[in-house]
Amino acid sequence: MKITKLSDFFVTGDPLIYGADVAIGLTMVAIVVALTAFKRWGWLWREWLTTVDHKRIGIMYVIASLLMLFRGGVDALLMRTQLALPDSMEFLKPDHYNDIFTTHGVIMILFMAMPLMFGLFNLTVPLQIGARDVAFPLLNSLSFWLFFMGAMLFNVSFVIGGSPEAGWLAYPPLSEKMFSPGVGQDFYIWGIQISGIGSLMTGINFIVTILKMRAPGMKLMKMPMFTWSVLSSCLTIILAFPILTVTLALLFIDRYFGAHFFTLDMGGNPMMYINLIWMWGHPEVYIVVLPAFGIFSEVVATFSKKRLFGYGSMVFALMSISIFSFFTWAHHFFTMGSGASVNAFFAVTTMIIAIPTGVKVFNWLFTMYKGKITFELPMLWTMAFIPCFVVGGMTGVMLSVAPADFQFHNSYFLIAHFHQVLIGGVVFGYFAGLYYWWPKVFGFKLNDKLGKWAFWLWNIGFYVCFMPQYVLGLMGMTRRVSSYSWDTGWWSWNFVSTIGAFLMGAGFLFQVWQILHSIKFMERVKGDPWGGRTLEWSIPSPAPFYNFAITPKVEGRDDWWRRKELAAKGVQDPPPKYEPIHMPKNSGTPIVMSVFWFILGFGFVFDWLWLIVPGAIGIAATMLYHSFNYDTDYYVTAEEVRKTEAKAGEGCLMAHVAANQSSHDHDHGHDGHHDLEALRTMGFWIFIITDCIIFGTLFATYAVLMNNTAGGPSGAELFEMPGVIAETFILLTSSFTSGLAVLSMNRGDKKGLIGWLIVTAVLGASFITLEVTEFLKMIDEGAKISTSAFLSAFYTLVGTHGLHVSIGLIWMVALMLQVAKRGITPVTKRKIGNISLYWHFLDVVWIFVFTIVYMMGVR
Amino acid sequence: MAQHHDTHASHGADAHESHGSLKSYVLGFVLSLILTAIPLILVLNDIVTGNAADVVLLVTAVLQFVVQLFFFMHLKEEKKPRYNLMVLLLGLVIVLTIVAGSIWIMKYNMVSH
Ligand code: HEM
Ligand SMILES: [Cu+2]
């Protein structure tokens, strides 16, 4: 975009925004001044920005997401203020109202709920399974910084360039260039894309962590329920987020290259976007609510002083929901007109998925039944959640009745429903989790009295705000309207609703006060303030940086509880014998790379090549730097561990109760056993699976759009098979030679390895050359990406594969250099194994491109 | 973090590398060549046409996928618990859902030209 005057770049003309400009500027100045005055820059960099410690990353997630909750909440209050009175109110102009509901929705789900959830994962999971960190600490830090940069990119649109205003899911054709020509929509796309990559990697990270890094003896069926819920949520993440990535990428290609996936003309089909985005969107709501279920399970058991009722059924419910959530997506567009059988099918699947959810509610109730319940804050939020979620779930089942949904759709009934499950389920759940684990994380408790105020304000406010909205929906008030007239009769209900919203706002303020107050009058706690049941309570609060001085040996569910019972019986533990601990080093790579992502995203938003190019180069350079860096970890000496433990210990039971110390010899019998290279291989495999989903989504799009040639050439007229057949055989052969490279490697034959890698790379390069030639010729003949929906889908699918091959080539060269320098070591072995896997995978994808695109296309 | 840094050497040999022998790679390669040639010969020369051709194309593609999984990616050799296999199967279920579901849902909404 060409900037000619200041108002092309900065958002101008609105006093609210000028106020925000000033506030943002002052805050930034204040931060810089404070850091400089207190000489804290080095501290900030060393202790936080470059940390790979999951606990600190977790804290950063929580802080960022609470800030986002604040912004999303202010947005909500602005909207409710606008809706408090009919007609005459012009507090927010209609287009400003559009900005705000779009921003509110995106922020609340993607930049508040998701990172708060990741924060809780990070703070808790490694401690619950007795691990020293997550499987990939550096990747974990990268995930955080990508989220952070993505969130920042999205948020600056408020003052620079202008906000997106096509709703939180950006339905086309409204979100297409024709109807949203501004940069807001591009901020939306890039903000979500960048943070989405981070979410995907977190998903992979925690799956590997949970499957492979559990303390010895912790069989799957002995895991704490929160860990189970994280596993189910992450499984859904890795399967669903690639779909979002593709969908937004296609929208971007439409906007940037003038393609026609979702436009109204040239064969594009906006409905396809809606179909795709909900394939991610529905699983997404389960992604955020499953961990909340996990939290409630922990809290209920702890504060009822009982084991969780129905452990097995709970596990089954969580895992089945994480898969079943993929089969209900069409209930978001019953009104699209896909026919009665489609609607009937998705109505039924939606109702079925309510069953495992119901099972869980009964499990919680039975856990409380006859328990010695104490009403601490986490428990209060849990008890508030249950009725709220039950009502929200029931209105959800009402919505799932397809014919009835024609009435409810896009009305305030829907708004009330999803806020009830999102606030009553997700937000209440995460609050419960925060209150529950806060003492573990920070070593002090939060003030109870202020917390109760916040609790009651949130709860009363919630019902006052959202119950009237069910009524409004039935009265016919549609969502996303910024005003209504007196004669609709909606005024009184709206006014009440606004009061409720402000009560919740007050609740939030009480929470801020509560935190500040508790920091000031710090009430220190020991390792186990609640009488917990799971491993995280067995170590000091806050946990030392290596978590467990001695890897615990687990024998049962609720292992900490078991050990406390043993201790009460007077069973003494042997004195701890400390050993050196292997730890990852801090690294600046993640934050630097994420800054380059920000630059790249900002460049694409404004279409400034002079930013895009350095951004892309920077990303590639940091990636290569990381690949060549072998100095990533160190050892903490046994002496240092002893000192740290002595300092933190102060007589609390803590790790000394490590009843049976695990010895470091590996018993291969349990699946908790791990070693670094095996972890990484598994992580890479899961990454390949997510890539499968990327291609699957592209194939689906191609299948739906392939006949929409809009008067342009069809495949039969365009494709020239000799070249394609040559490409196919070349790639197939390279898949074979990459295998031969692995064989040489396994024999320890370094020359052979490098030789076969070179052959593979040359074949790959010839493949790319042929493909590029083919593309250029087609374009020359007038078959461009903007010619028709068919060609958009064709170039994108085949081009994505080509891009993968090209990246693989760069990677292969980097690996050759590493092998040449370092020889065949476990690390280079793992890397070569992975790239050959990647190469086979690309060949498999090509088989399907060849078959479905070319062979079926020329017939 | 993994505390088993020192075990690289001992694990290098078994835990995490593609096995396979020259024989399996060659066999896989030959099978792939054949499975690529079959559709080329049958379909491009119009020996089979219509729906039958689609079936031939898809079946040979899927077979080739399976061949690569077993002979190149050594899926069979994974140790229990076979998490990789499970994730792969799940991924395939989802890919199928995406493709088949989209086609089914969009059938009534296609604006074909
Ligand atoms: C704190 C209390 C909250 C209030 C008072 C509130 C209020 C609102 C209002 C007034 C709208 C716009 C309705 C319309 O005009 O169509 C809205 C939309 C929305 N809210 Fe909230 N909200 C709150 C919390 C949340 C939370 C916690 C989430 C998610 C975790 C959330 C997610 C959404 C979404 C996705 C939309 C739809 C945006 C769109 O139409 O594109 N809200 N909310
Ligand atoms: Cu849904």
Report the CATH number at residue A122. 1.20.210.10
Which ligand is nearest to the Cα of residue A400, counting in written order?
A: 2
Look at residue A444 and give its three-state secondary structure. strand
Inside any domain, residue A835: yes
B79 touches chain A (CB under 8 A): no
**Domain count within chain B:** 2
> Given this model, what pLDDT does residue B14 score?
39
Cα separation, A628 vs A710, in Å, equals 49
Residue B25 sits in which domain range?
1-79
Tell me which residue has tokens 């069953």.
A355
Cis peptide before A378 (omega within 30 of 0): no
Give yes or no for residue A415 CB within 6 A of ligand 1: yes
Nearest by CB to A851, which of B49, B57, B102? B57
Residues of A in contact with B38 (CB under 8 A): none
B77 touches chain A (CB under 8 A): no
| Lowest-pLDDT choice from A119-128, A144-153, A438-447, B5-14 | B5-14
**Domain count within chain A:** 2
Inter-chain contact B16–A272, Cβ cutoff 8 Å?
no
pLDDT of A199 > 50? The answer is yes
B63 touches chain A (CB under 8 A): no
* Residue in chain B lying closest to A208 (CA): B83
For A469-527, the DSSP string reads HHHHHHHTPBTT-S---GGGS-HHHHHHHHHHHHHHHHHHHHHHHHHHHHHHT--B--S
Picking from A538, A554, A574, the residue at the C-terminal end of a domain is: A538
Tell me if A489 sits within 8 A of A67, measured CB to CB.
no
Element (H, E) at A633: strand A633-636
Inside any domain, residue A18: no
Residues of A in contact with B97 (CB under 8 A): 326-327
> Nearest CA of chain B to the CA of A757: how many Å?
15
Look at residue A10 and give its three-state secondary structure. strand
Cα separation, A708 vs B112, in Å, equals 5
Of A836, A821, A676, nearest in space to A138 by CA:
A676
Average pLDDT, chain A: 92
Tell whether B11 and B65 lie within a shared domain. Answer: yes
DSSP state of A38: T
User: What is the separation, in whole angstroms, between the first and last Cα of chain A?
Assistant: 43
CATH number of domain containing A757: 1.20.120.80
Question: Around Cβ A364, how many Cβ atoms within 10 Å?
Answer: 24
Site to probe by mutation for ligand 1, drawn from A66, A104, A495 as the one with most ligand atoms within 8 Å of Cβ, is A104
Cα separation, A10 vs A649, in Å, equals 54
Inter-chain contact A674–B11, Cβ cutoff 8 Å?
no
B37 touches chain A (CB under 8 A): no
> Nearest CA of chain A to the CA of B61: how many Å?
6
pLDDT digits (tens, 9 = 90+) for A780-816: 999 999 999 999 999 999 999 999 999 999 999 999 9
As a three-state string, the secondary structure of A542-608 is: CCCCCCCCCCCCCCCCCHHHHHHHHHHCCCCCCCCCCCCEEEECCCCHHHHHHHHHHHHHHHHHHCC
Inside any domain, residue A745: yes
**Alpha-carbon distances, residue A729 vs A733, A758, A794, A800, A857 (angstroms):** 6, 17, 20, 19, 19
Residues whose CB falls within 8 Å of the CB of residue A541, separated by 6 or more in sequence, listed in order: A439, A440, A441, A442, A443, A525, A526, A527, A529
**Average pLDDT value for residue range A198-226:** 96
Cα separation, A703 vs A725, in Å, equals 21
B82 touches chain A (CB under 8 A): no
Tell whether B60 and B85 lie within a shared domain. Answer: no
Residue A397 sits in which domain range?
40-538
Query: Ion ligand 2 — residues with CB under 5 Å?
Result: A 282
Residues whose CB falls within 8 Å of the CB of residue A101, separated by 6 or more in sequence, listed in order: A75, A79, A167, A168, A480
A-to-B residue pairs, Cβ atoms closer than 8 angstroms:
231
Inside any domain, residue A587: no
Per the DSSP assignment, residues forming a β-bridge with A582 are: A635
Ligand 2 centroid from CA A275, angstroms: 12
Which has more pLDDT, A58 or B7?
Answer: A58
**Average pLDDT value for residue range B75-103:** 91
Tell whether B44 and B94 lie within a shared domain. Answer: no
Under the banding of pLDDT at 50, 70 and 90, the label for residue A770 is very high
As a three-state string, the secondary structure of A645-700 is: HHHHHCCCCHHHHCCCCCCCCCCCCCCCCCCHHHHHHHHHHHHHHHHHHHHHHHHH
Tell me which residue has tokens 């930049």.
A111
Cα separation, A132 vs A54, in Å, equals 9
pLDDT digits (tens, 9 = 90+) for A586-603: 999 999 999 999 999 999
Look at residue A85 and give its three-state secondary structure. coil
Cα separation, A744 vs A659, in Å, equals 47
Tell me if A540 sits within 8 A of A648, measured CB to CB.
yes
Inside any domain, residue A370: yes
**What percent of chain A clears pLDDT 70, i.e. is strictly above it?**
97
User: What is the separation, in whole angstroms, between the first and last Cα of chain B?
Assistant: 57
Give yes or no for residue A473 CB within 6 A of ligand 1: no
pLDDT digits (tens, 9 = 90+) for B39-81: 999 988 888 888 899 999 999 999 999 999 999 988 877 787 8
pLDDT of A140 > 90? The answer is yes
Q: What residue's CA is closest to ligand 1, atom 32?
A: A105
Give yes or no for residue A462 CB within 6 A of ligand 1: no
Look at residue A300 and give its three-state secondary structure. helix
Which ligand is nearest to the Cα of residue A65, counting in written order?
A: 1
Picking from A538, A567, A587, the residue at the C-terminal end of a domain is: A538
Inside any domain, residue A321: yes
**Alpha-carbon distances, residue A46 vs A51, A443, A632 (angstroms):** 7, 22, 15
Tell whether B53 and B9 lie within a shared domain. Answer: yes
B19 touches chain A (CB under 8 A): yes
Per the DSSP assignment, residues forming a β-bridge with A110 are: none
Ligand 2 centroid from CA A837, angstroms: 35
Residues of A in contact with B89 (CB under 8 A): none
Which ligand is nearest to the Cα of residue A240, counting in written order?
A: 2
> Given this model, what pLDDT does residue A23 score?
81
List phi, psi (to 5°) of A144.
-60, -50
Tell whether B66 and B50 lie within a shared domain. Answer: yes
Inter-chain contact A678–B15, Cβ cutoff 8 Å?
yes
Ligand 1, residue A508: give the atom nearest the CA. Answer: 1
Cα separation, A475 vs A297, in Å, equals 38
Tell whether B29 and B60 lie within a shared domain. Answer: yes
Inside any domain, residue A319: yes
**Alpha-carbon distances, residue A696 vs A217, A239, A793 (angstroms):** 38, 11, 13
Cα separation, A121 vs A59, in Å, equals 11
Picking from A538, A568, A585, the residue at the C-terminal end of a domain is: A538
A676 touches chain B (CB under 8 A): yes
> Nearest CA of chain B to the CA of A63: how many Å?
25
Rounded (5°) CA angle A694-A699-A700: 100
* Residue in chain A lying closest to B16 (CA): A678
Inter-chain contact A833–B17, Cβ cutoff 8 Å?
yes
**Alpha-carbon distances, residue A586 vs A37, A142, A591 (angstroms):** 25, 12, 11
B22 touches chain A (CB under 8 A): yes
pLDDT digits (tens, 9 = 90+) for A462-482: 999 999 999 999 999 999 999
Tell whether B50 and B96 lie within a shared domain. Answer: no
Tell me if A497 sits within 8 A of A463, measured CB to CB.
no
CB contact residues (below 8 A), chain A span 529-568, against chain B: 551
The single-letter code of the amino acid at A517 is H
| Lowest-pLDDT choice from A355-359, A657-661, B81-85 | A657-661
Inside any domain, residue A743: yes
> Nearest CA of chain B to the CA of A546: how many Å?
8
Tell whether B98 and B51 lie within a shared domain. Answer: no
pLDDT of A354 > 70? The answer is yes
Tokens describing residue A511: 């929470």
Nearest by CB to B91, which of A267, A689, A721? A689
Per the document, the length of chain A is: 859
Under the banding of pLDDT at 50, 70 and 90, the label for residue A17 is confident
Tell me if A128 sits within 8 A of A212, measured CB to CB.
no
| Lowest-pLDDT choice from A226-240, A405-419, A609-623, A668-682 | A668-682
Tell whether B91 and B73 lie within a shared domain. Answer: no
Tell me if A309 sits within 8 A of A366, measured CB to CB.
yes
Cα separation, A343 vs A324, in Å, equals 17
pLDDT digits (tens, 9 = 90+) for A302-353: 999 999 999 999 999 999 999 999 999 999 999 988 888 999 999 999 999 9
pLDDT of A668 > 80? The answer is no
Which ligand is nearest to the Cα of residue A430, counting in written order?
A: 1
**Alpha-carbon distances, residue A40 vs A26, A32, A159, A820 (angstroms):** 19, 10, 29, 42
Tell whether B66 and B91 lie within a shared domain. Answer: no
Tell whether B67 and B90 lie within a shared domain. Answer: no
CB contact residues (below 8 A), chain A span 426-455, against chain B: none
Largest CA distance in chain A: 86
Tell whether B30 and B47 lie within a shared domain. Answer: yes
Give yes or no for residue A117 CB within 6 A of ligand 1: no
pLDDT of A14 > 90? The answer is no
Nearest by CB to B16, which of A338, A677, A844? A677
**Average pLDDT value for residue range A82-87:** 90
